[in-house]
Amino acid sequence: MPEIKGVFSQARRLDQVEGMAREAIALMLDVDPQSFDVDVQPDLPQEVTRARKARSALRKAEESAEKATVTAARALLAKGYTVRDAGALLGISPQRVSQLAPKKAAAGGSSSKIGKGRKAALKQEQQTAAA
């Protein structure tokens, strides 16, 4: 609806604007307040648009990281790493590894017994990751 001359209203908060505008318009036109639509479009600084885009990109990156972590946790457990070692390599808790990986894979990888070769490989990977 185009601007209606002579209709003014105020609200303290953004969530009150629609109701106040609807009430003022309905009184001015003598119509039911629910008989028309109100579209509130605040004049926002560019920083708000940038922040919203950045937050959206962050959510997408978090989703991607979560999927990659699930895949990596399952791969580590399938290779025989323990839940604790998989967590250390991924930078997450062993409990989180258990949540991400299927029970079948976690059960197979939860043993604390690993061969000397696997221990040496794990130590090498941890040192490489720390560097």
Domain-located, residue 7: no
Domain-located, residue 36: no
- For the whole model, what pTM was predicted? 0.54
Q: What is the 3-state secondary structure (H, E, C) of the chain?
A: CCCCCCCCCCCCCHHHHHHHHHHHHHHHHCCCCCCCCCCCCCCCCHHHHHHHHHHHHHHHHHHHHHHHHHHHHHHHHHCCCCHHHHHHHHCCCHHHHHHHCCHHHHHHHCCCCCCHHHHHHHHHHHHHHHC
Q: How many domains does the chain have?
A: 1
Domain-located, residue 18: no
Domain-located, residue 67: yes
CA distance 6 to 26: 13
Domain-located, residue 95: yes
Domain-located, residue 12: no
> What is the mean pLDDT of the segment spanning 5-30?
91
Handedness of CA 68, 74, 76, 79 (dihedral sign): negative
Whole domain around residue 60: which residue ranges?
46-130
Domain-located, residue 75: yes
* Two tokens, residue 80: 């025989």
How far are the Cα atoms of 9, 89, 113 from residue 95, in angstroms, in the given order? 55, 14, 18
pLDDT 10s digits, 99-116: 998 765 444 444 444 555
Q: CA nearest 70: which of 46, 48, 90?
A: 90
In this prediction, residue 13 carries a pLDDT of 95
> What is the mean pLDDT of the segment spanning 75-91?
96
Q: What is the mean pLDDT of the chain?
A: 85
Q: Per mean pLDDT, which of 16-25, 98-107, 121-130 is the most reliable?
A: 16-25
In this prediction, residue 108 carries a pLDDT of 46
